[in-house]
Amino acid sequence: MASRFFDAADGTRIHAVITGDGPRDVLVLGGLAEHAGRYEHVAKAFAERGATVTVMELRGHGNSGGRRSHVLDWAEYRSDVAAVASSLREGWSFLAHSMGGLVALDAVRDGLRPSKLALSNPLCGVKMKVPGWKTGLGRGLSRVWPTLALTNELDPGHLSRDAAVGQAYVADPNVYKKVTARWFTEMTAAQARVGALQAFPVPVKFFLSDSDPITDAVVAKRIAGQIGAQVQDYPGMLHELVNELGKEQVIADVRDWLLG
Q: State the CATH number of the domain containing residue 144.
A: 3.40.50.1820
Q: In this predicted structure, what is the pLDDT of residue 137?
A: 57
- What is the domain count for the chain? 1
Residue range 223-241: average pLDDT? 98
Mean pLDDT of the chain: 94
Residue 240, domain extent: 2-259
User: Quick one: DSSP state of residue 238?
Assistant: -
In the structure, what pLDDT confidence band is assigned to residue 128 with cuts at 50, 70 and 90? low
Span 194-210, pLDDT tens digits: 999 999 999 999 999 99
Q: In this predicted structure, what is the pLDDT of residue 150?
A: 80
Largest Cα span, the chain? 50
Percentage, residues of the chain above pLDDT 70: 94
Q: In this predicted structure, what is the pLDDT of residue 66?
A: 97
In the structure, what pLDDT confidence band is assigned to residue 134 with cuts at 50, 70 and 90? low
Residues 6+ apart with CB under 8 A from 238: 158, 159, 160, 161, 209, 211, 212, 213, 214, 244
Instruction: Report how far residue 139's alpha carbon sits from residue 52's, in angstroms, rounded to the nearest whole number.
Output: 41
At residue 172's C-alpha, the angle toward residues 248 and 20, to 5°, is 45
At residue 28's C-alpha, the angle toward residues 91 and 219, to 5°, is 100
Span 93-114, pLDDT tens digits: 999 999 999 999 999 999 999 9
In the structure, what pLDDT confidence band is assigned to residue 14 with cuts at 50, 70 and 90? very high
Name the percent of the chain in helix, strand, coil, to the closest 5: 40, 20, 40
Q: In this predicted structure, what is the pLDDT of residue 146?
A: 79
Which phi and psi angles does 18 have, rounded to 5°? -110, 130
Residue type, 114: P
Is the pLDDT assigned to residue 133 strictly greater than 60?
Answer: no
Is the pLDDT assigned to residue 120 strictly greater than 90?
Answer: yes
